[in-house]
Amino acid sequence: MNAPDQQPRMLLEVRPEGLTIPEPPRFDDPQAERLHRKQRLAACLRIFSMHGFDAGIAGHISCRDAVRPDHFWVNPLALHFSRVKVSDLVLVDHEGRIVEGRHPVNAAAFSIHSRIHRARPEVMAAAHSHSLYGTTYASLGKPIPPISQEACAFYQDHAVMQAYNGIAAELSEGEAIASALGPAKAVICRNHGLFTVGQTVEEAVFWFLRMERACEQTLRATAAGQPVEVDEATALMTRKQVGAPKAGWFGLQPLVDKVLAEQPDLLD
């Protein structure tokens, strides 16, 4: 079993310029960074399981390889999120060839993630699942209104893809999703669900958790009445506070720590 790399204790600091969030770890050795990313990817798949984001064989999280940037690691097809270990992850290139791994991969995972990673070189990870509230809200074909702090994290930083063409197993569908995503951190694919991206796998997964929560809040609030939206200036300020890449990375650390402590088998 590979031990997770040790990190210094992370603290928030209040400085004259405001709240300072710790930095994600940096690596001089690409092999060490590869292992770190794979460990976090396996932990994030377990986190998806904790939140009930499993739906048969649907759902996938990818992470760009640190050694071969035009390749990405992804969960294997039909292995439950709760059982994925580092050794189960599959390395795929942008042409669909499996370079490392003993399992097949979801065709939609390849067609979507390969096109997102190719279109967005700064994106290290992407996440998607057929989550309950995300898929329900996606049927409306609308952006998420800024009615909560969670929703403000995505204010003017997510897109809506107004098309549904069945299972996204074709490269053309992956290209359409990547195009709809544009420079944003997330895209709602109508009648399909949510896709989120990040500069770390933790960030991409944290945005998925937050966006799922924002969808739930919006559905519940609109069912109860007419929610009051946050004004534009405040929504933009809030996005700057809680919607930055470092905030997304840091926000998932408690869950990552919990999973690594309670499910160390994922490191095998």
Whether the pLDDT of residue 6 is over 50: the answer is no
Enclosing domain of residue 47: 25-253
Whether the pLDDT of residue 91 is over 70: the answer is yes
Once rounded to an integer, what is the mean pLDDT over residues 255-259?
97
Domain count, the chain: 1
Give residue-wise pLDDT tens across range 168-181. 778 888 999 999 99
Task: Out of 18-22, 44-48, 69-73, 245-249, pick the least confident.
Answer: 18-22
- Where helices occur in the chain by DSSP H, the ranges are 30-50, 107-119, 132-138, 149-152, 171-181, 201-224, 232-242, 245-251, 253-262
- The reply to whether 14 falls in a domain is no
- The reply to whether 37 falls in a domain is yes
**pTM for the predicted model, two decimal places:** 0.92
- The reply to whether 8 falls in a domain is no
- The reply to whether 197 falls in a domain is yes
- The reply to whether 266 falls in a domain is no
Residues 139, 159: Cα–Cα separation, whole Å = 14
Give residue-wise pLDDT tens across range 115-157. 999 999 999 999 999 999 999 999 999 999 999 999 999 999 9
- For 101: left if phi > 0, alpha if psi spans -120 to 50, otherwise beta; the answer is left
Residues 208, 248: Cα–Cα separation, whole Å = 10
Predicted local confidence at residue 73, as pLDDT: 97
Question: What is residue 227's DSSP assignment?
Answer: P
Beta-bridge partner residues of 160: 188
- The reply to whether 265 falls in a domain is no
- The reply to whether 211 falls in a domain is yes
- The reply to whether 206 falls in a domain is yes
Phi, psi of 127 (to 5 degrees): -135, 145
Using alpha carbons only, give the angle 97, 203, 200 rounded to the nearest 5 degrees: 50
Q: What is the CATH number of the domain that holds 36?
A: 3.40.225.10
